[in-house]
């Protein structure tokens, strides 16, 4: 009801604000809610190594208006930087790279705050981490010194801060997202075509009455009315007929659905100039996708079955709502109705009535969920808007990092090492059959070869030989160093010797920025958890490591 009242109030007829105009193309992707999350974020870049991929990532975050950033970079700008990094110029030579990058990146957007370290007061990474306001997310670039990595991981664990490791060298790169525990996303932006949920096999009374009213004399309707029956109504009508002829059962098998589709198509009137009816075409085309029993999507199933290890996490709004939806599902064997009606041929008035029937049912379901939430301890503080959003997206809710990331400590280290070994086993086994299954070869060798130089100082020559790389690989995944593709990757990494190609850094910086935007706005679905890029073959693989 509120919607109708609102649309009747005189609209404010001024155009968009300056800020809305500047950010128009991105607001269409993540709306004001996503924008405000971005503007509240405070990102730290620990920029070691050749230093371009971090700068390119920041560019892509500063342009859309991230709140603030800090760069920690101990190096001075050298000639080699100028051939690869766009945010440094000749005036920067010999100066702090952190300072120069910050200045030239800040030029991109006057709305963003930026600071750089080390400076007069903050001389080390540990003092920066100790004295700064909390960071929303930290990214660091390889090669990085092990003690600095340890400091960042400790910080991430203590403050539950997502960490993103990035490594770009020559034609290769990877980045790895380390989230502090399970990461649920509600606003996943599924493809619009996937979201249609019409409940044709279990309609509620208001919908049934509406459909019956329109079709009780279907053969007596004039051609205009018949040709403008919404396809939802057409399908409900013929489903009733089918049930009457089939012991109350719905068309279930593919064969039955095909038969049902023929019945629907055959009911169209053809004695007209068009030789058919568009709404009946729409109805026939919708049979396979919409005449379906509600089921529990795998993403939500994972949410329902998730076992909490952290009691604080369990009391968050998301999990309280998820529990309520689970109870709702157990009671009704279906999810709360999202309430969106796709466009279909119909008279305006009839379509709007039907749309309101779907909306009203969705509001009723959401109200029931809200009631369950509010009856739970802690649930009284949950925002009803959060409940609404969950109900609209329930079928597409997604849990990332459900088994928990590298949460520090020796146990986790061991399990992470084991995870890599078993992933390697699987990837190499897949490669054996890749030719037969026409699937591309694994990019794990690239990850292994890059990872082998994660802590090698850029000035070290012996650290970047193929032999040294393969020896380091052998320590992590014994046997892998003998595989031809690993040897090739090691040679390719040796060729770059820690140097970046600008294109690969820019491409990787684009991907990382997308991921950070997704994590900060909690919209779309972040990668879980390692993304490897091969600039020779021109493709990406996501590995869970």
Residues 220 to 239 in contact with other proteins, rule: CB under 8 A: 228
Min dist CB 527 to other proteins, Å, is: 4
Residues 6+ apart with CB under 8 A from 419: 544, 545
- Total residues binding other proteins (CB under 8 A): 92
Nearest distance from C-beta of residue 37 to other proteins, angstroms: 15
Residue 166 and residue 173 in contact, taking contact as beta carbons nearer than 8 Å: yes
> Binders of other proteins among 174-193, rule CB under 8 A?
188-189
Q: How far is the CB of 422 from other proteins (least distance, A)?
A: 20
The answer to whether 353 and 228 are in contact (CB under 8 A) is: no
Do strands 398-400 and 530-534 pair parallel, antiparallel, or not at all (unpaired)? unpaired
Least spacing, CB of residue 343 vs other proteins, in Å = 5
Rounded Cα distance between 186 and 461, Å, is: 48
25 lies in the site for other proteins, by CB under 8 A: yes
Contacts with other proteins, 412-451, as mask; x by CB under 8 A: ----------------------------x-----------
Q: Which residue has the tokens 């689970």?
A: 326
> Which of 288, 414, 426, 542 is in the footprint of other proteins by CB under 8 A?
542
Q: What is the CA radius of gyration of the chain?
A: 28
Contact with other proteins (CB under 8 A) among 208, 245, 288, 352: 352
325 binds other proteins (CB under 8 A): no
Question: For every residue of 262-328, which 3-state class applies, written as one string?
Answer: HHHHHCCCCCCCCCCCHHHHHHHHHHHHHCCCCCCCHHHHHHHHCCCCCHHHHCCHHHHHHHHHHHH
Kindly state the smallest distance separating residue 260's Cβ from other proteins, in Å: 26
Handedness of CA 366, 371, 377, 381 (dihedral sign): positive
Residue 501 found at the interface with other proteins (CB under 8 A): yes
Q: Does 503 bind other proteins (CB under 8 A)?
A: yes
Q: Residue 382 Cβ, how far from other proteins at the closest point, in Å?
A: 26
Residue 176 φ/ψ, nearest 5 degrees: -130, 130
- Give the SS3 label for residue 167: strand
Q: Which of 123, 216, 262, 539 binds other proteins (CB under 8 A)?
A: 539
Residue 29 touches other proteins, criterion: CB under 8 A: yes
Look at residues 432, 217, 191, 158 and name the one whose alpha carbon lies nearest to residue 289.
Answer: 191
Q: Which range touches other proteins (CB under 8 A), out of 56-64, 126-134, 320-328, 472-480? A: 56-64
- Contact between 514 and other proteins (CB under 8 A)? yes
Closest distance to other proteins from the beta carbon of 477 (Å): 19
Q: Residue 166 CB, nearest distance to other proteins (Å)? A: 14
**Interface segment toward other proteins; rule CB under 8 A; list 38-46, 84-92, 119-127, 414-422:** 84-92
Closer residue to other proteins (CB): 79 or 219: 79
Name residues contacting other proteins, limited to 118-157 (CB under 8 A).
none
Please tell me whether residue 349 binds other proteins under the rule CB under 8 A.
Answer: yes
545 in contact with other proteins (CB under 8 A):
no
Spatial CB neighbours of 261, under 8 Å, sequence gap ≥ 6? 284, 287, 288
Q: Figure out which of the listed residues 42, 63, 281, 314 binds other proteins, where binding follows CB under 8 A.
A: 63
CA dihedral 38, 134, 142, 451 (to 10 degrees): -90
The C-alpha atoms of residue 382 and residue 373 are separated, in whole angstroms, by: 8
Q: How far is the CB of 542 from other proteins (least distance, A)?
A: 5
Closest CA to 25 of 81, 64, 67: 64
């Amino acid at each position: 009801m509120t919607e109708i009242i609102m649309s009747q109030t005189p609209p404010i007829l001024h155009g968009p604000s300056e800020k809305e105009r500047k950010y128009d193309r991105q607001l269409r992707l993540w709306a004001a809610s996503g924008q405000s999350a971005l503007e509240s974020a405070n990102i730290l870049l620990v920029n070691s190594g050749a230093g371009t991929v971090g700068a390119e990532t920041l560019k892509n975050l500063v342009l859309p208006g991230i709140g603030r950033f800090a760069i920690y970079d101990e190096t001075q700008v050298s000639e080699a930087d100028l051939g690869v990094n766009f945010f440094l110029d000749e005036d920067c030579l010999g100066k702090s790279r952190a300072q120069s990058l910050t200045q030239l990146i800040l030029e991109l957007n006057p709305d963003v705050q930026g600071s750089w370290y080390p400076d007069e007061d903050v001389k080390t990474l540990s003092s920066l981490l100790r004295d700064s306001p909390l960071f929303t997310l930290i990214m660091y670039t390889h090669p990085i010194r092990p003690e600095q990595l340890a400091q960042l991981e400790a910080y991430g664990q203590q403050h539950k801060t997502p960490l993103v490791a990035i490594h770009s060298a020559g034609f290769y790169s990877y980045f790895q997202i380390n989230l502090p525990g399970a990461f649920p996303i509600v606003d996943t932006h599924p493809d619009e075509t996937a979201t249609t949920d019409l409940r044709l096999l279990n309609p509620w009374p208001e919908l049934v009455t509406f459909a019956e009213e329109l079709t009780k004399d279907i053969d007596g309707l004039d051609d205009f009315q018949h040709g403008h029956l919404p396809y939802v109504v057409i399908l409900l009508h013929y489903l009733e007929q089918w049930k009457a002829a089939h012991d109350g059962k719905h068309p279930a098998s593919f064969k039955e659905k095909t038969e049902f589709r023929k019945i629907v198509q055959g009911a169209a009137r053809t004695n007209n100039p068009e030789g058919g009816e568009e709404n009946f075409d729409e109805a026939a085309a919708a049979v396979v996708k919409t005449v379906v029993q509600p089921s529990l999507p795998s993403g939500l199933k994972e949410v329902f079955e998730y076992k909490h290890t952290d009691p604080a996490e369990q009391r968050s709004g998301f999990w309280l709502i998820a529990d309520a939806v689970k109870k709702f599902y157990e009671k009704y064997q279906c999810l709360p109705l999202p309430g969106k009606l796709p466009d279909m041929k119909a008279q305006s008035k009839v379509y709007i009535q039907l749309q309101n029937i779907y909306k009203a049912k969705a509001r009723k379901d959401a109200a029931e969920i809200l009631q369950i939430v509010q009856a739970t301890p802690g649930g009284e503080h949950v925002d009803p808007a959060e409940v609404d959003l969950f109900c609209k997206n329930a079928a597409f809710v997604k849990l990332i990092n459900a088994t928990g990331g590298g949460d520090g400590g020796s146990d986790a280290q061991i399990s992470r090492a084991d995870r890599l070994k078993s992933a390697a086993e699987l990837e190499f086994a897949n490669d054996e059959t890749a030719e037969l299954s026409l699937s591309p070869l694994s990019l794990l060798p690239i990850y292994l070869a890059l990872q082998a130089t994660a802590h090698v100082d850029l000035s070290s020559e012996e650290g970047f030989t193929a032999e040294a790389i393969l020896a380091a690989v052998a320590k992590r995944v014994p046997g892998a160093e003998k595989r031809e593709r690993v040897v090739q990757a090691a040679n390719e990494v040796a060729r770059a010797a820690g140097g970046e190609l600008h294109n690969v850094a820019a491409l990787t910086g684009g991907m990382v920025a997308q991921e950070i935007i997704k994590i900060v706005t909690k919209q779309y679905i972040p990668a879980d958890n390692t993304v490897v890029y091969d600039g020779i073959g021109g493709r990406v693989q996501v590995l869970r490591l």
